[in-house]
Amino acid sequence: MSVEKERMSLTLTKYYVDRLNRLVETGLYMERQDAIRHALSLLYEYHGIPLTLSEAEG
């Protein structure tokens, strides 16, 4: 099943980049993008925005 994707550019302060790197370095996430996707999923959940499993995998 193919999931439509869109590339985005994101500018973060060094504070956020350092913490993303720490999450990867400690092995919690394979890549920074994985941590960002997880954070977005938590944000959607917090605001009551449902995602289906197929949408969340993208």
Residue by residue, pLDDT tens for the chain (58 residues) are 677 889 999 999 999 999 999 999 999 999 999 999 999 999 999 999 988 766 555 5
pTM reported for the whole predicted model: 0.80
Residues in Cβ contact with 50 at an 8 Å cutoff, skipping those fewer than 6 apart: 44
Asked if the structure places residue 1 within a domain, the reply is no
Is-contact 56 41, C-beta < 8 A? yes
Asked if the structure places residue 4 within a domain, the reply is no
DSSP label at residue 34 = H
Q: Which pLDDT value is given to residue 58? A: 56
Q: Which pLDDT value is given to residue 22? A: 98
Name the residue range of residue 18's domain: 14-56
Asked if the structure places residue 47 within a domain, the reply is yes
Asked if the structure places residue 51 within a domain, the reply is yes
Asked if the structure places residue 19 within a domain, the reply is yes
Q: Which pLDDT value is given to residue 30? A: 98
Q: Which helix (H) or strand (E) holds 19?
A: helix 14-25
Asked if the structure places residue 22 within a domain, the reply is yes
Q: Which pLDDT value is given to residue 56? A: 56
Q: Which pLDDT value is given to residue 52? A: 75
Number of compact structural domains in the chain: 1
